C-alpha cells in the first residue's frame, strides 16, 4: 500500500511539473478520446457478443435442420432394409442361395434382381450386398460400379469387428465407418438375416451409400454457391462418429481420420466421444452446443449436435454433426465497425490536438511574455513592460504587473534620495571619529607594548622553570634505566659464560662420538672382510659337495653293476648322496645369511658415514657458536664499561641540575 501511495505521489508531482501547454493537450486528448474509446469498445464488445449469440442460435437451428434431414435420409435407408427383410421373395432367394451350388449364378442373379428393384426406387443407394457366413461364393452383390472390387472386399470384411457386431445385433441396424473404395468413400447400413429353420444368423444384408450423398445434405449451402471454391468456403460441416473419426466431410482427405487433426480444442466434444450423450432428450445441452476454437489454423465458431441416438431414429448410427464457421466471415462487419471506431478516434485525436495547440498557444504566449518580463526585472531591468491588451484575466494580470513595477521604481527613487542624505551627514561624523580614534590608537599602542613585554618575560621564566623540572625528571629516568641496563648486561654476560661452558662440553662429547663412529666404521670393514673369507670357505664346501655328490652317483652306478653283491655298497652311496645334498642345502643357507649380513653391513656403513658427516658439521657449528659467545662476552664487557662512564656523567649532570634549581 505504501509503495502504491508513493507511486501515485510521484505521478502527481511529475504532473504538477508539466508545462501548462502540455497539460492542455493531455486534457483535450482525454476529453475527446476517452468517451469515444469507452463507447467504441463497449459497442464493439456488445455487438460482438450479440452477433455471437444470434449466430449460436442460428447455427444450432441450422444444425437441427441438417440433423433432421440426415435422420430422414437414415430413416429412408432403414425403410429400404425393412422392406427388403419383409420381402418374402428376397428371403426365399437368399435361402435358395445358401442351399444352392456355389457356382449357380442364376440364384445370385435372382438376389441381384431384388436388389436392383430397390436401387431403382431410391437412386441414393449406390449398391446392395448379401454376405453369407459361408463365404464369398454364397454372397451376392449389386452395385452401380465396383462390383468385382466389392466381391473381393467381402473376405476381409468378414474378419472385421463391425461384421461380428452386425451378426450379433439380432437384426438391428448398424452403421459402419467410412469405407474407402477406389477414389470414393462409402457408408454401409447392415442388418443380419436369420435362418427360418434354425433361427441363427446366416449372413447380413448391407446397403451402400456414397458419402457424397450425405456430404451434399450437410453442406448444401457450399455446393449451392458455384462462385465459391471449397478452399475459400467461410463455413462447412462434417459428420463424425463416437470415435471422433470423420464419416463425411467436404475435404475428402480427412475422411477416416480423427477430428483432432484439424481442431485445436476437442474437450467439449469428449462428451459425445465417450457415449455419454443423452438418448432420452434429443435437444438437450448434452447433445448439442457451441464454442470457439482454432480450425485448420484459423479462428472459428464450432457448433455440434448428435444424430441418431435413439434406435427408432436413424438406427443408432452414433453420428454427430459438427459445423465450423470462420470468425473472418462471422465478425467481418463487427471488425469493420471496430476499425471505423478507431478511425473516428484517430480523427478526434487530431482535432483535439489542433484545438489544444490553439488554446494552449493563446494562453501560453501571454504567460511566456509575462515570465520573460519578470526575468528581466529580476536581473534589475525595471524599464520593461508587458504589452497584453486583451480584456481577460491575462490582460488584468499584465496591467497589475506593470503598475507594480511603476510603484517599485518610485520606491527605489525615494530610497536613493534618503541614502544620499545619510551619506552627506555621515561624512562629518566620520571625520570627528577618525581624530578620536587616532589619539586612542596611540595610547593603546603604548600600553600594549608595555603589557606585551611583561607577559613575554613572565612566559620565558615559567618556560625555563618547566624545562628544568622536565630535565630533572628525565635525568632521574635515565639513572633508573641505566641501573636496569647494567643489571641486564651483567646477567647476559653470566648466561653467555655458562653457554660457552656448555658449548665446550658439547664439543668434547662430539669429538668422543666422532672417535666412536670411526671405530664402528673400522669394525664394519673388518666384518665385511670376514664375510668374504667365510664366503670363500662356503664356495670350497660347495665344490666338495658337488664332487661328493658325483662320487656317490658313480658309486651307485658301480653298485648297480655289481648286482646283489653291491647292495651294501649302494646303501653307502645313497647315504653319501644324502650328506652331499644336506651339505649343499646348508651351504646355500650360509650363503643367504652371509648375503644378508653383507647387505646390512653396507647399509650400516652408509648410515654411519652419513652420521660421521653430520658430526663433522655439528663440530663446525659448535666452533662457530663458541666464537660467537666469545664475541658476545667481549661486547658485554665493553657495554659495562661504557655504562659505568655514562653513570659518572649523569651524576655530574644531576649535581649541576641541583645547583640550577637552587639558583
| CB hemisphere CA count around 218 (13 angstroms) | 30
Q: 479 with 549, same domain? A: yes
Tell whether 292 is covered by a domain.
Answer: no
**468 contact partners, CB below 8 Å, separation of at least 6:** 657, 660, 661
Q: DSSP labels for 608-656?
A: HHHHHHHHHHHHHHHHHHHHHHHHHHHHHHHHHHHHHHHHHHHHHHHHH
Q: 473 with 621, same domain? A: yes
Give residue 138's domain range: 87-211
Strand positions, DSSP E, 251-311? 288-295, 298-307
pLDDT at 601 over 80: no
| Residue 399, C-alpha cell as written in the block | 496591467
Tell me the CATH number at 587: 1.10.287.950
Q: What is the per-residue pLDDT for 238?
A: 92
Tell whether 599 is covered by a domain.
Answer: yes
pLDDT at 539 over 60: yes
Q: Are the C-beta atoms of residues 624 and 557 closer than 8 Å to each other? A: no
The pLDDT tens digits for 417-468 are 766 765 666 565 456 556 545 654 654 565 556 456 546 655 654 665 565 5
Q: What is the per-residue pLDDT for 190?
A: 92
Select from 352, 177, 163, 171 the least CA-distant residue to 256: 177
How far is 63 from 83, CA to CA, in rounded Å?
Answer: 30
Residue 355 binned pLDDT confidence (cut-offs 50, 70, 90): confident
Residue with cell 667365510: 534
CB atoms under 10 Å from CB of 500, counted, come to: 16
Q: Measuring CA to CA, how many Å separate 181 from each of 9, 244, 252, 255?
A: 77, 21, 12, 12
Tell whether 304 is covered by a domain.
Answer: no
SS3 content of the chain, % helix, strand, coil (to 5): 70, 10, 15
Structural domain total, the chain: 3
Sign of CA dihedral 258, 259, 263, 268: negative
Tell me the CATH number at 191: 3.30.450.20
CA torsion, points 510, 511, 517, 518, in degrees to nearest 10? 160
Q: Which of 29-33, 42-46, 325-329 has the largest mean confidence?
A: 325-329
How far is 47 from 43, CA to CA, in rounded Å?
Answer: 6
Question: Mean pLDDT across the stretch 82-96?
Answer: 89
% of the chain at pLDDT higher than 70: 74
pLDDT at 233 over 80: yes
Cα 402 to the center of its chain, rounded Å: 70
Of residues 312 and 255, more confidence is placed in: 255
Q: What is the per-residue pLDDT for 530?
A: 77
466 DSSP β-pair partners: none
Q: Is 299 helix (H, G, I), strand (E, B) or coil?
A: strand
Tell whether 272 is covered by a domain.
Answer: no
The pLDDT tens digits for 120-177 are 988 889 999 998 888 777 888 999 888 888 888 887 888 888 899 899 888 888 888 8
| Residue 348, C-alpha cell as written in the block | 478526434
Q: 29 with 127, same domain? A: no
pLDDT at 207 over 90: yes
Q: 609 with 486, same domain? A: yes
Q: What is the per-residue pLDDT for 418?
A: 61
Of residues 222 and 442, more confidence is placed in: 222
Q: 104 with 38, same domain? A: no
Tell whether 160 is covered by a domain.
Answer: yes
Q: 27 with 102, same domain? A: no
Characterise 156 by phi-psi region: left (phi > 0), alpha (psi -120 to 50), beta (else).
alpha
Q: 525 with 589, same domain? A: yes
Q: 531 with 591, same domain? A: yes
Q: Are the C-beta atoms of residues 325 and 59 closer than 8 Å to each other? A: yes
Of residues 179 and 276, more confidence is placed in: 179
- Cα angle value 509/510/512 (rounded, 5°): 65
Lowest-pLDDT range of 95-99, 107-111, 132-136, 564-568: 564-568
Residues in the chain: 663
How far is 300 from 235, CA to CA, in rounded Å?
Answer: 9
Q: Are the C-beta atoms of residues 262 and 324 closer than 8 Å to each other? A: no
Q: Measuring CA to CA, how many Å separate 124 from each of 127, 145, 252?
A: 9, 13, 19
Q: Are the C-beta atoms of residues 40 and 135 closer than 8 Å to each other? A: no
Question: Given 167, 187, 211, which residue is the final one in a domain?
Answer: 211
Q: 565 with 495, same domain? A: yes
How far is 289 from 342, CA to CA, in rounded Å?
Answer: 34
Q: 494 with 607, same domain? A: yes
* Mean of per-residue pLDDT scores for the chain: 76
Q: 645 with 550, same domain? A: yes
Tell whether 511 is covered by a domain.
Answer: yes
Q: Measuring CA to CA, how many Å separate 490 from each of 63, 125, 629, 635?
A: 127, 141, 14, 11
**334 contact partners, CB below 8 Å, separation of at least 6:** 44, 47, 48, 51
pLDDT at 310 over 60: no
Q: What is the per-residue pLDDT for 451?
A: 55
Tell whether 372 is covered by a domain.
Answer: no
Q: 153 with 109, same domain? A: yes
Question: Mean pLDDT across the stretch 604-626?
Answer: 75
| Residue 8, C-alpha cell as written in the block | 501515485
Residue 322 binned pLDDT confidence (cut-offs 50, 70, 90): very high
Lowest-pLDDT range of 22-36, 545-559, 599-613: 22-36
Tell whether 374 is covered by a domain.
Answer: no
Q: Are the C-beta atoms of residues 213 and 178 closer than 8 Å to each other? A: no
Taking the whole predicted model, whether its pTM rises above 0.85 is answered as: no
pLDDT at 30 over 70: yes
90 DSSP β-pair partners: none
pLDDT at 206 over 90: yes
Residue with cell 495547440: 357
Question: Given 211, 237, 267, which residue is the final one in a domain?
Answer: 211
Residue with cell 476454437: 293
Question: Given 168, 192, 211, which residue is the final one in a domain?
Answer: 211
Q: What is the per-residue pLDDT for 282?
A: 47
Residue with cell 652408509: 606
Amino acid at each position: 500500500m505504501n509503495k502504491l501511495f508513493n507511486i501515485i505521489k510521484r505521478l502527481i508531482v511529475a504532473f504538477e511539473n508539466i508545462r501548462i501547454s502540455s497539460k492542455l493537450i493531455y486534457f483535450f486528448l482525454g476529453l475527446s478520446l476517452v468517451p469515444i474509446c469507452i463507447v467504441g469498445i463497449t459497442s464493439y464488445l456488445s455487438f460482438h457478443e450479440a452477433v455471437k449469440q444470434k449466430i449460436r442460435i442460428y447455427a444450432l437451428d441450422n444444425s437441427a435442420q441438417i440433423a433432421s434431414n440426415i435422420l430422414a435420409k437414415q430413416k429412408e435407408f432403414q425403410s429400404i432394409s425393412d422392406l427388403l427383410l419383409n420381402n418374402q421373395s428376397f428371403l426365399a432367394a437368399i435361402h435358395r442361395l445358401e442351399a444352392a451350388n456355389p457356382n449357380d449364378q442364376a440364384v445370385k442373379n435372382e438376389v441381384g434382381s431384388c436388389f436392383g428393384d430397390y436401387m431403382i426406387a431410391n437412386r441414393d443407394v449406390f449398391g446392395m450386398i448379401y454376405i453369407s457366413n459361408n463365404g464369398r461364393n454364397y454372397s451376392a452383390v449389386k452395385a452401380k460400379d465396383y462390383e468385382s472390387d466389392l466381391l473381393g472386399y467381402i473376405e476381409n470384411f468378414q474378419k472385421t469387428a463391425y461384421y461380428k457386431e452386425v451378426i450379433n445385433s439380432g437384426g438391428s441396424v448398424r452403421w459402419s465407418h467410412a469405407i474407402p473404395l477406389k477414389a470414393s468413400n462409402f457408408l454401409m447400413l447392415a442388418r443380419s438375416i436369420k435362418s427360418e429353420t434354425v433361427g441363427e444368423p446366416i449372413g447380413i444384408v448391407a446397403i451402400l451409400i456414397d458419402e457424397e450423398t450425405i456430404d451434399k445434405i450437410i453442406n448444401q449451402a457450399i455446393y449451392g454457391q458455384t462462385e465459391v471454391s471449397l478452399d475459400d468456403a467461410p463455413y462447412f460441416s462434417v459428420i463424425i462418429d463416437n470415435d471422433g473419426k470423420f464419416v463425411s466431410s467436404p475435404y475428402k482427405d480427412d475422411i477416416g481420420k480423427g477430428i483432432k487433426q484439424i481442431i485445436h480444442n476437442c474437450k467439449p466434444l469428449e462428451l459425445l466421444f465417450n457415449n455419454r450423450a443423452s438418448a432420452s432428450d434429443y435437444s438437450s445441452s448434452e447433445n448439442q452446443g457451441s464454442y470457439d476454437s482454432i480450425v485448420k489454423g484459423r479462428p472459428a465458431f464450432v457448433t455440434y449436435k448428435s444424430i441418431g441416438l435413439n434406435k427408432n431414429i436413424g438406427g443408432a448410427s452414433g453420428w454427430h454433426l459438427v459445423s465450423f464457421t470462420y470468425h473472418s466471415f462471422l465478425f467481418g462487419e463487427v471488425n469493420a465497425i471496430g476499425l471505423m471506431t478507431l478511425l473516428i478516434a484517430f480523427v478526434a485525436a487530431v482535432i483535439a490536438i489542433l484545438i489544444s495547440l490553439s488554446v494552449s498557444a493563446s494562453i501560453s504566449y501571454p504567460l511566456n511574455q509575462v515570465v520573460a518580463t519578470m526575468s528581466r526585472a529580476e536581473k534589475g531591468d525595471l524599464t520593461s513592460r508587458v504589452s497584453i491588451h486583451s480584456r481577460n484575466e491575462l490582460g488584468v494580470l499584465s496591467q497589475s504587473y506593470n503598475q507594480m513595477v511603476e510603484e517599485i521604481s518610485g520606491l527605489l527613487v525615494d530610497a536613493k534620495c534618503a541614502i544620499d542624505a545619510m551619506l552627506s551627514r555621515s561624512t562629518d561624523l566620520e571625520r570627528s571619529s577618525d581624530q578620536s580614534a587616532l589619539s586612542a590608537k596611540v595610547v593603546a599602542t603604548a600600553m600594549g607594548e608595555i603589557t606585551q613585554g611583561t607577559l613575554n618575560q613572565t612566559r620565558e621564566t615559567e618556560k625555563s622553570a618547566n624545562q628544568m623540572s622536565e630535565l630533572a625528571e628525565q635525568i632521574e629516568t635515565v639513572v633508573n634505566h641505566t641501573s636496569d641496563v647494567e643489571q641486564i648486561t651483567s646477567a647476559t654476560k653470566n648466561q653467555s659464560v655458562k653457554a660457552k661452558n656448555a658449548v665446550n662440553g658439547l664439543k668434547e662429547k662430539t669429538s668422543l662420538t666422532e672417535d666412536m663412529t670411526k671405530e664402528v666404521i673400522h669394525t664394519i670393514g673388518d666384518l665385511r672382510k670376514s664375510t668374504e673369507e667365510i664366503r670363500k670357505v662356503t664356495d670350497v664346501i660347495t665344490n666338495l659337495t658337488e664332487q661328493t655328490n658325483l662320487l656317490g652317483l658313480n658309486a651307485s652306478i658301480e653298485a648297480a653293476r655289481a648286482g646283489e653283491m653291491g647292495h651294501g655298497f649302494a646303501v653307502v652311496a645313497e647315504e653319501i648322496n644324502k650328506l652331499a645334498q644336506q651339505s649343499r642345502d646348508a651351504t646355500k643357507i650360509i650363503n643367504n645369511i652371509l648375503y644378508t649380513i653383507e647387505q646390512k653391513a653396507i647399509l650400516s656403513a652408509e648410515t654411519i658415514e652419513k652420521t660421521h658427516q653430520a658430526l663433522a658439521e655439528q663440530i663446525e657449528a659448535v666452533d662457530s657458536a663458541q666464537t660467537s659467545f666469545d664475541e658476545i662476552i667481549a661486547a658485554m664487557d665493553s657495554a659495562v664499561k661504557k655504562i659505568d662512564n655514562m653513570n659518572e656523567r649523569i651524576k655530574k649532570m644531576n649535581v649541576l641540575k641541583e645547583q640550577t634549581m637552587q639558583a
